[in-house]
Structure 1
């Protein structure tokens, strides 16, 4: 591709004697090479060059001619999304027909959690026979694209979004996400099993670099043989590159492309002082003033189509499409809290929890709020907020944690013993890692009262001690939920800042929860005779003392039943559908209670005999 540029330079007029001589020498050199270079491959190339360029085709052996260093290339490496890369160099000039593929090294402009920088990726084209349209290659120079200017404008707009998402403040990193994502690694399991990566080592240190290289080497086989599969996601995500690298995979990918960690650009004096070379490779993009100031269009165009983050519901580290991220609607923050969460005392408990969670870790009025702060005798101790929600299942404990997280724009990480382990020597390390990311669900397994004289109590006591110790130094918000408060260790009382008791649902709460599920359907015209359903719920269903989960299951199952019966028509939910599911739940509930009573009776008889 540079041949035309060289010819133009040779023909350019100049008055400078030295420059005139140089251009004359260049012209002579080009004529000599094109008329007979002595290299069979090169001579063959020049014979077909004009024809190939006119037809915009290329052979496998001449791929190198269309990818000179500094070329902007177009490809779709991540879920069919447009992407632009900058060519740095090839691994071998002449592709050989017996090779499986021919590879290039290119740059993307990525974020590593601290800074934007050019990041190298390896590109490959599989061997092929005969001629091939350049635009049909897996990637090709952008000027061969039929809509190159349109692509550039779209990439600039997406690059602006990428920059915004990467540099947004911690409190604003949570977004709605609807689209495909690529799962890389399950979140908390990564934190548990990764004993080889030390979270205390700085990512910029030599120590961390060596560990990353070893990890990448160990993972190389898996990377080369596995193809990431996209998964449809509709939920909340957190954009967090730094935690992704720290607790998720040790490597970064863009779809199937793996970023090369072991590449270093030449830093010799000659290369550093070679301004045309620096311009060709956009070296200036790595400089701090180029990162922080007004960006060049090419900086935006070279940004990848994905960000790295965490999917809250699935507990998965993932590659996320930039174009599938959406700001969470303002009314969503308020509606979930004010309308969907129904507690017995109305707004009292909700207001206390909301204010405590909202104010924790927030500077309300510059630095003035810091004056009203209690310091522990020991530095960094007692800075967290621990809220205990206790009561029977299905009465709103977990829903409280979920909705207050939405209302305060804070991410909610739900953890249980399965995420932390049950061996004391591992629990402390795992808790520290998890707490550094972020509610603990069903905390009773960690906080049961420590006992004496029982063989398995040694491990149990160690678990409790470890949990309490880590809790002392946790500086975030921890919401504990349990229905086993009688078994809590006595020491937990002093670690809990505020506790709220949840009782069985009142008739008013039951009706309000049903209404929360049914009202949106009724507003869409998907329910027949809502007034009749409300009357039936008030007269009959509230007497069953259902819990919140049972109510949700009744409505969702009834909707499924209505959908199955609506063949070729718009499904409508009716009282009949709800009655079928309520009857089923009641029958199971009665049988469960009877079976449990029989079990208790048999256990009492066994103890009496002993």
Structure 2
């Protein structure tokens, strides 16, 4: 059989060994199989077979004696030359290099190897393993020609040459084919030096996202074995995937490295495998979610963690950090790239992919796009809960269930509710009204549209009276993001305050977000002889003056407000400590939201767990709205744990623990 194969190839092949170490690539035991053939005795066979071995003493290649020499002039008829390349120092680089001396044949196979640079030179050639991996597609070229039954000699000869090449490759890699079959039958376990063979007849590869650990797919471009100096040899795979940059969809580079291992491992353990049709369908479904969330900034609900990278200066390597981020988020890839100081890996790609518009400039994708499965599992954005920029999993994003009755939960006078609604609707443009602007162009609407909520309570220090809840109600009513920041996040240095505030106002203007500066006493308090604090207040006042949007500030020190702020406040609301009626309303609202059945409400005529007397007793105790909310939530958790309906007994038990803690705190 071997002699028959060599006779059939005698017009096309000459076997030789290359002396060029620079062209050595990867190990392949099939090279030995190709050289174990019987040698025909006929001198008419144009066959040149040579093997070279590395001479350590001479540090050069040395010919190994052969049993015969080809006939004179045989090389001039050769259309394909197969070089067996061996590297004794790095045996995993052994392979067969196929060189084409027939230009029509080289042109015939080029379309199947668009990224193969070896086919672009004066002596076009390619690693025989790549031909093995694409043998089915190349075989279809031969089949298509034979089915067409054309008599065009210009097409016939290169196709015949290709057919001969494929016959050779099938024989040369016979051992590889047997190993792959055995690996598949045994659960797809492969050896490290056989990893290249798993990509036979596939364009796409499945691996794991280096940031989130989620499965990803990319288009295979190249693979090779590498031996960095003083490091463990690796098998490397490179390709391209698709991603949204904030401006358009681009193909991004992606690569994976797999260090050498002993024995055979499953593809699942290794972490890379060919992409199956089933997996492609699943990833395409995720890709549809991706394109729905990409584009302009979107305000969404999120039920997972946020993923971000911080660079460790000691190791110069990025460290992946995952933080809880359940709640509302803003998907904004462009702002994530521009404003996140810990993520700068886009810089080089920007130069490559976000240049002048061209024919491949795609600002949108259809859900039936053939590359939709190449989209990643995350989009860049901001978590309002974690107060961090990072990557958010698209499968855990959903529309926000805005509370339509958000204002109903506020325990403030009805005229105050109406005043708030009127002002914020006009400012947000949702009511159809346009408010007059400042006389000075460019100043925006600024502080003329800011609101400061103040509290005059003494006993409770003004906490838990509804200031923050009012801001949340405004944001929900307008269906806008609420960006909350506390005074301590600004620091006390003038430059830092200015940078931080500029960052916040810039991004919230872009998102049309409501800004809540909680406990803004240091900025609102009247200026004094403290020059440093006066400078901070001055910067704060100046930057707010040019902000166009809704800014809400809370304070418990209304008597010390700076005169500059007093004259510029659009609306100031006064919050007293909760009285008996207000506490009763809050108890009923929070208990109702927790699923409790109250006498006379929601069917609680005969079957109820809280009587009107229970509500009166709870409201009689002086406390604030925040404590009431925590009491109900903790009691609800206790009832769930006991698999009981929420009742006054649960409230009493939790309250007793809180009172015990407060007593211990006061007596310590």
Q: Same fold (TM over 0.5)?
A: yes
Q: Does 1:386 align with 2:478?
A: no
**Change over 3 Å in CA distance of 1:157–1:552 after alignment to 2:** same
Deviation of residue 483 (structure 1)?
0.5
After superposition, give the CA deviation of every residue in 1:43-85 in whole Å (9 maximum; x if it has no partner). 8646746655777554321322344798212234376644322
For residues 404-451 of structure 1, what are the alpha-carbon distances to aligned partners after superposition, in whole Å with 9 as ceiling and x for unaligned? 212221111111232211111221111101111221011111121111
State whether structure 2 residue 525 is matched by structure 1 residue 448.
yes
Question: Which residue among 330, 334, 349 is the counterpart of 2:404?
Answer: 334
Report if the CA contact (8 A) 1:120-1:263 is conserved.
no
- SS of the aligned residue for 1:440 comes to strand
For residues 293 and 463 of structure 1, do their structure 2 counterparts lie closer, same or farther at Cα, with a shift above 3 Å needed? Answer: closer
Using CA pairs under 8 Å that are at least 6 residues apart, name the structure with larger relative contact order, 1 or 2.
1
1:221 equivalent in structure 2:
316
In structure 2, what is the Cα distance between the partners aligned to 1:68 and 1:362?
Answer: 59
> What SS class does the counterpart of residue 65 from structure 1 fall into?
helix
Q: Does 1:537 align with 2:615?
A: yes
Higher mean displacement: 464-473 or 129-138: 129-138
CA distance in 2, matches of 1:234, 1:315: 11
The answer to whether structure 1 residue 25 and structure 2 residue 92 are counterparts is no
- Over 3 Å counting, the alpha-carbon distance change for 1:594 and 1:383 in structure 2 is same
- Number of aligned residue pairs: 508
More helix by share: 1
CA separation of 1:448/1:57 partners in 2, compared to 1, >3 Å: closer, same or farther? same
Contact 2:136–2:201 (CA under 8 A) maintained in structure 1: no
- Between the aligned partners of 2:226 and 2:169, the Cα distance in structure 1 is 17
How do residues 230-379 of structure 1 correspond to structure 2 at under 5 angstroms?
231=323, 233-248=325-340, 250-251=342-343, 261=348, 287-288=360-361, 290-292=362-364, 294=366, 296-329=368-401, 332-338=402-408, 340-343=409-412, 345=413, 347-362=414-429, 373-379=436-442
Q: Which residue of 2 aligns with 1:128?
A: 261
SS in 2 for 1:334: coil
Report the CA distance shift for 1:537/1:328 in structure 2 as closer, same or farther (over 3 A).
Answer: same
Shift in Å at residue 577 of structure 1? 3.5
Matches within 5 A, 1:27-176: 27-33=163-169, 45=176, 48=179, 58-67=190-199, 71-77=203-209, 81-90=214-223, 92=225, 99=232, 101-134=234-267, 137-143=270-276, 148-149=277-278, 151-167=279-295, 169-170=296-297, 173-176=298-301
Q: How far does residue 396 in structure 1 lie from its aligned partner after superposition?
A: 0.2
Change (3 A) 1:386 1:505: same
The DSSP-based 3-state class of the residue aligned with 1:415 is strand
Residue 200 of structure 1: aligned partner: none
For 1:53 and 1:19, locate their aligned partners in 2 and report how far apart those are by CA, in whole Å. 37
Structure 2 Cα separation of the partners of residues 127 and 109 of structure 1: 29
1:108-165 superposed Cα distances (whole Å, 9 cap, x missing partner): 211122211112222233433334454654121113xxxx33x333333322221111
Secondary structure at the counterpart of residue 291 of structure 2:
helix
> Could you tell me how far apart the structure 1 residues matched to 2:266 and 2:217 are?
19
The two structures have a TM-score, normalised by structure 1, of 0.72
Provide the C-alpha distance between the structure 2 equivalents of 1:249 and 1:219, rounded to a whole number of angstroms: 18
Instruction: State how far apart, in whole Å, the 1-side matches of 2:161 and 2:661 are.
Output: 94
Mapped to 2, the partners of 1:378 and 1:507 lie a distance apart of: 49
SS at match of 1:360: helix
Q: Is the 8 A contact 1:354 1:408 kept in 2?
A: no
Please, what TM-score do these two structures have when normalized by structure 2? 0.67
Q: 2:502 touches 2:543 (CA, 8 Å); kept in 1? A: yes
- Secondary structure at 2:526's aligned position in 1? coil
- Contact in 2 for aligned 1:312/1:413 (Cα 8 Å): yes
Contact conserved, 2:220 with 2:240, CA < 8 A, in 1? yes
Gaps in structure 1 of 5+ consecutive residues: 37-41, 186-214, 253-257, 267-282, 596-610
Secondary structure at the aligned position of 1:304 is classed as coil
Q: CA deviation at 1:516?
A: 1.6
Mapped to 1, the partners of 2:518 and 2:469 lie a distance apart of 11
1:465-544 correspondence to structure 2 within 5 Å: 465-523=538-596, 532-538=610-616, 540-544=617-621
Counterpart contact for 1:309–1:320, Cα < 8 Å: yes
The CA deviation string for residues 354-375 of structure 1, in whole angstroms up to 9 with x for no partner, is 333334343766xxx66x5424
Deviation at 1:387, TM superposition (A): 0.7
Shift of 1:239: 1.2
Q: Does 1:405 align with 2:478?
A: no
Distance 2:443 2:315 in 1: 41
Structure with larger Rg: 2
Q: CA RMSD in A?
A: 3.9
